[in-house]
Structure 1
């Protein structure tokens, strides 16, 4: 009884009600609504007119229009707001300023005191709700195929009426659902019955709730610029919103709201196409979903087709906003055009871009023990694994798809070898050792494993998973075993070895293939023109941005022994030359460059990232190396046309670095602090331009201070895309390519016109590589909203100008103004700032930056800004703290940054940037090299390094003597001491065979079987012979074969005792 009285009292309080009310069951709602009501844990907002819940803390930082919020207001008038309550009952037209950050499902004059309608709200991490939200976001935004919600907020307006209404007037029911994974966020508006639009205070009818200023639906960022309204907002048509949709479900609208603008999900009339995933493997087989056209599911959908890279493929309509196609096989990588037609290909109304990659690590067949399998040994069988959920099938087929060049060597054909039929889709299997399923045996072993759902009949449109393309020694073993079984009647035992005769016969075939390849290559060998020479040491390679780690041999990994036995680490040019070629360089454990015969690298006709990406490189560089060096004894042929660079031409690039509070180290090594505010020329040249934006620093208390730091750059090389990278304090960075913002969340490295951009948000790094005659590289890192970055500038790229200097090797003229006046670097900081730095400020017309809504070139500068040129005066404790953080009193830039900002992380980053720059400069010092020494024919060498101080020792095989230096040292003059080394053969003649080598003393001459070359056999007297002992003859009879046509004198000479 007491509980009932208390509940009645609370209800009577009306607007003061702020506690939960228990009800017996969840409230009835349309099926597309998320469950709400106190039975599912909701709280009830205070019963009021024009009020709110007050500030509601939430357990995440919710992203909304590029800002994060840790609390919100559920307002009675149909709005969720951030920063402040919304009591305004008549909606204004968007956009609105004054920090009115609003999400308005139905901003109208709701009055919950007029009837029993209420407003419910809760945040939840319920697993069922999260799964549902994730699924529905992925349906609305097909690009977010891997989106997984971690938090949901649900606010529901249940059967609410308007101000001026009563318990019998029209009612509205609607819902706002906020969804996020912490980085991306989405909003759903769900509508049930909508019967009124306006309260009487806004000019509406007291009996119908219509007329006046109707409700507003949409989003407002609060800056007076960014907003989005749903069609019909603030018009009488908004009463029909429950009959509209952007996602094919009447009464639902879905938006993405974390970015700088609010984006619509679902279909559109604008001709844009959303594609998910946004990238996939060039080998095809992936299901790709597209969203753009609004599909009529009640009419014939068989005419819906997709065209990707000019290949038309059928599509399947999933619902009113989505269709799906299977990615065909395409022998290229990079960005390709995708378009959708709803009339069988007559008209393509919606288009977008898709990125083809060589392989997708999330959609792959893993070869668990590939590197353990050796040629000709069958004890080890290949075990593979895959993701079972990728196939909606209980059984799968497994094929080996072999890739070959067509005769034109510009296109590729495939051969498919069936390995296993109808394998249970368990995610793992060990392959057989034979090829009993294959009627025709194919010896080639460059290809990829393909797993596909078992189907009846052949089809080029099948969902597939692929392994990487590789030289498959495991397949060669299968081929050999099956060949033996078919030809010799062998058992094909899993533990047997290939018979020597069979393996020898197949090796002859491989040798012939190597020779045929060699004949073609020697007539047109690849050129190393425009390729940088190999760094002489691994340390040089580490700091040379033109090179990257080669995944085929990295840090002593086991795979080094496959083609680079003796190497500990390899690098390759990060970019292909204009001809598509590449350079590979390998190093021993000490870090010295290796020649080919000791595991060194080679010139590459097809860089792994160019041509038919990866595949061309494997076909024309890797597979021939297997044929010539692994599968036959013709490695000299490969080495001749794929030589190793000896690093003699190596010229390291010069490096400029900026960091912290706009400190600069120029290309020539001059160090100074830049104090400008605004946008400036960092570097200008005929072929490359770089601009930077400097913003005012703030200290740890959030107060602006008298220093600046770099917060954005814009860069462009001739003929390439314009790249802009700028700080985003919520996500880290924003990257714009030719003015269009790009997303690097799923695909971290992307190719554009003559530029490659990599972004790793987790590590806070961006790398930009500009392709062309000169390879410029910018490596960026950010912390606390501040960029530090390096520019790698090839020495042959000419002499630029601007804030980063001129790369002429002279630090005294680095501070040169646009008019050519050189400012003394020892000038006072204020003079440097005014007479040099400010001279390089860009104009609005020169600016390469693109600006968001409301931003402009002039908005980033302040003519009244006066930088602080000297370190601020602080107490001794703060000075000691700065010295400790920076590692000593000499770290002046680091100490300055700490004293200005109070941020230890910024100071440490400054100190680290200086260390990295100094290490890079030190590693770039030219080393003396003498070039590689080859092993002598019929001999060996011990040692391989061509660097000054290195020693190489030589020895000869049995039957040969060493002629020349047995040991040579690389001198500081860049030459090897001593003389060339040869291994010269002595010949012991057999009665029925050609002469064969035999070891003789180093002081002896050579014995030859014929008279065409001078030898000990042809001397005139015995005295001459005995002065240079030779090996003892086994019998005069055998010697007479060599001397049968000679004079008696010569015969007697040959019969002398040989020791």
Structure 2
């Protein structure tokens, strides 16, 4: 493993001097991400000033940086000029080639390919007909539902498309799109179908998007197409799940990886054969029975999926394992088409280990879980997780589309196109909460104050970099950096606060959240600052990452560990959620998670402090958990960070904080502090040490949120009857504020 601090320090030692000398000739051609003998091709080189001269030429920046996994997105290579006669070849994952081009301004363009996975995809560019690929960058492939509507063609009145041919649903259909998105005067409209072939859960189980036929050819690119559907010819009418694609007419029918606008994936009722239109109920009933027979032969995935939280409050609090369902979100008006009576649903973030299945949990307006044996609006688990799961590429792990094939189109067969919903609910019954165990929460905020997994709290005002929690169970590490606070007059305060948090689990990507020197919140992925302007949800290696518009960051590791970070009053507020399996497997400032407070303050050498240790003793305890450069996950990409944290002490022995701030009755700030803080000791502490009511108020709110979180995560006894579940939900309340992501069917 390469640690960021070591990489950067070598970079500084080898290159800062060399770059000042003429003749440093190392090149980033074929070398992006590498540290060379006289300069750097790593992402940190720009802020450190040690890039090779051709870094920007070969290490590509692109716009846009993301698009649907369906492909067809034209993206610009921003920082490199090519000869207009150059023929560009773009290669993704070292195997999938698409044709690029050079525009009149010398800027290169690539077309993203059809992929069966999400996440950052490496790509390279050739200008010599594919013989060499010296230029490289990354492309973010995203779930098709997370692509903005402006980048798709739109099925006007989508419900009509998906019910076409059923009673009272006929007439014209209309497709619209942004005509400027395709730079040609005429376009084609194609129909594509999705299927998975081979034996289920075997090596020959394969996924395929297949071109079926062209619905309209050489139509004017006006941004609108209206037609009256007729049943598709031949075997095409048997494809009942698919998508539309608009392409420039200059390309061949069905040609892959060309500029494209895709519709939403949808049920293809509008093109189904005469047998469907003659009797849609009979057609759908036969399909439902066929699906039921197939399900009978498949493994029981429900045995390995996580049970649901008992209440809406728990579901919204357990952010390491559950996230808002795109299609039923209380923050977006609770439009729950597939779950009548529900106001909010969540999905298990991680797919189940063997069968890659998904869990869904829905709740009514009282916060009570809705079960399918009580209501058709009950939550239903999924044979295919909607978001897919690593390593993707093969069924049932294809993001979005495996889920549609096994869990959504079958819902149309049994519930929407016919009256056989009992068959669907038999195969997709709700999970209750009998085996659900809420996670434990630990938090740090303000000056900073630490709340451990077992419920103790203490203040540690050390200056440096420290291990917050580490686990031998999954090689989880969460590290925190503190920096000195400042008084209103600009001088240093006798206290510190969290300024950066870095984390990793097993061999996952490394995530760092930090305040930059101009006090903007930055998120780094493997040392590179991320841009959330296009995507706020990212599927990364070993984790999911979510950022809200107000820059609340949530990291969800594959173990179910959740890390939430918010910017608050100039300091970071941190919460770590750990599932029950981490019991007796943690150490660090957040303590030993085992339900026993007596060993909470355990040093590296396994000696302990008493529960009522003095602030001075706790200062020694905190200092003992300072990290080393060899294990640091932090990025040191500025002179300030290098001097103060890489070359400086990991725990500053010279910085002595105040342990007992004095409340001077003659101090005019004290009266305002009492009015603001009341009896909250952490709010009062921070007002006195920083002379800032804003910092104190941020601390007060963070403390309240932590107490509310712990309250919502209290274990509860599973209730079997709706009445019992409603009473339980009433006691727990509606839950914490959450922040939604994109929308899904």
- Tell whether the structures are fold-level matches, with TM greater than 0.5: yes
Deviations 1:647-706 (A, max 9, x none): 111111010011111111111111211121111111121021221111111122211111
Partner of 1:602: 380
Matches within 5 A, 1:209-358: 260-261=47-48, 271-290=58-77, 295-297=82-84, 301-302=86-87, 304-309=88-93, 310-318=95-103, 322-358=107-143
Helix, strand or coil at the partner of 2:47: coil
Indicate yes or no: 2:597 matched with 1:811. yes
- Given the two structures, how large is their TM-score scaled by the length of structure 2? 0.81
Helix, strand or coil at the partner of 2:351: coil
The answer on whether the counterparts of 1:764 and 1:783 sit within 8 Å (CA) in structure 2 is: no
Aligned equivalents of 1:527 and 1:483: distance in 2? 36
Aligned mate of 2:312, from 506, 513, 538: 538
Partner of 2:733: none
Aligned equivalents of 1:639 and 1:534: distance in 2? 17
Aligned equivalents of 2:707 and 2:493: distance in 1? 29
Matches within 5 A, 1:100-119: none
Aligned equivalents of 2:17 and 2:415: distance in 1? 63
Indicate yes or no: 2:680 matched with 1:898. no
The answer on whether the counterparts of 1:268 and 1:292 sit within 8 Å (CA) in structure 2 is: no
Helix, strand or coil at the partner of 2:669: helix
C-alpha distance 830-305 of structure 1, shift in aligned 2 (>3 A): same
Matches within 5 A, 1:494-643: 505-528=279-302, 531-545=305-319, 546-555=321-330, 562-579=337-354, 580-596=356-372, 597-610=375-388, 611-643=397-429
Partner of 1:678: 464
Indicate yes or no: 2:686 matched with 1:909. no
Deviations 1:706-762 (A, max 9, x none): 1111111221211322222221143623333334444444333333321222334x4
Matches within 5 A, 1:709-724: 709-724=497-512
Partner of 2:655: 865
Helix, strand or coil at the partner of 1:709: strand
Aligned equivalents of 1:662 and 1:653: distance in 2? 23
The answer on whether the counterparts of 1:795 and 1:807 sit within 8 Å (CA) in structure 2 is: no
CA positional deviation for 1:530: 5.7
Aligned equivalents of 1:585 and 1:607: distance in 2? 13
Is the helix fraction higher in 1 or 2? 2
Aligned mate of 1:644, from 427, 430, 446: 430
- Given the two structures, how large is their TM-score scaled by the length of structure 1? 0.58
Deviations 1:16-36 (A, max 9, x none): xxxxxxxxxxxxxxxxxxxxx
Partner of 1:937: none
Matches within 5 A, 1:658-677: 658-677=444-463
Aligned equivalents of 1:320 and 1:613: distance in 2? 37
Aligned mate of 2:588, from 793, 802, 806: 802
Partner of 2:491: 703
Partner of 1:114: none
C-alpha distance 438-701 of structure 1, shift in aligned 2 (>3 A): farther
The answer on whether the counterparts of 1:928 and 1:948 sit within 8 Å (CA) in structure 2 is: no
C-alpha distance 802-321 of structure 1, shift in aligned 2 (>3 A): same
Helix, strand or coil at the partner of 1:511: helix
Helix, strand or coil at the partner of 2:655: coil
Partner of 2:560: 775
Helix, strand or coil at the partner of 1:563: coil
Aligned mate of 2:180, from 383, 389, 398: 389
Matches within 5 A, 1:101-250: none
Partner of 2:606: 820
Aligned equivalents of 2:333 and 2:231: distance in 1? 32
The answer on whether the counterparts of 2:119 and 2:140 sit within 8 Å (CA) in structure 1 is: yes
Indicate yes or no: 2:260 matched with 1:464. yes
Aligned equivalents of 1:453 and 1:907: distance in 2? 59
CA positional deviation for 1:636: 3.3
Aligned equivalents of 1:925 and 1:629: distance in 2? 37
Deviations 1:84-140 (A, max 9, x none): xxxxxxxxxxxxxxxxxxxxxxxxxxxxxxxxxxxxxxxxxxxxxxxxxxxxxxxxx
Helix, strand or coil at the partner of 1:353: strand
* Structure 2, unaligned runs of 5 or more: 1-14, 25-42, 199-203, 389-396, 730-745
Deviations 1:495-535 (A, max 9, x none): xxxxxxx6573333333333333333222335246643201
Deviations 1:856-882 (A, max 9, x none): 435264311111011233435312211
Indicate yes or no: 2:210 matched with 1:414. yes
The answer on whether the counterparts of 2:217 and 2:249 sit within 8 Å (CA) in structure 1 is: yes
Matches within 5 A, 1:32-47: none
Helix, strand or coil at the partner of 2:279: helix
- Ranked by relative contact order (alpha carbons within 8 Å, sequence separation 6 or more), the top structure is 2
Matches within 5 A, 1:990-1001: none
Aligned equivalents of 2:496 and 2:686: distance in 1? 10
Helix, strand or coil at the partner of 2:630: coil
C-alpha distance 716-271 of structure 1, shift in aligned 2 (>3 A): same
Aligned mate of 2:271, from 476, 479, 482: 479
Aligned equivalents of 1:946 and 1:885: distance in 2? 40
Aligned equivalents of 1:232 and 1:281: distance in 2? 44
C-alpha distance 732-269 of structure 1, shift in aligned 2 (>3 A): closer
Deviations 1:451-498 (A, max 9, x none): 333336423353221222233xxx52x336x738xxxxxxxxxxxxxx
Partner of 2:237: 442
The answer on whether the counterparts of 2:570 and 2:695 sit within 8 Å (CA) in structure 1 is: no
C-alpha distance 870-368 of structure 1, shift in aligned 2 (>3 A): farther
RMSD: 3.4
Aligned equivalents of 1:950 and 1:832: distance in 2? 39
* Structure 1, unaligned runs of 5 or more: 1-223, 234-255, 485-501, 933-943, 952-1059
Helix, strand or coil at the partner of 2:227: coil
Aligned equivalents of 1:694 and 1:226: distance in 2? 30
C-alpha distance 365-619 of structure 1, shift in aligned 2 (>3 A): same
Partner of 2:676: 885
Partner of 1:852: 637
Paired residues, what number? 664
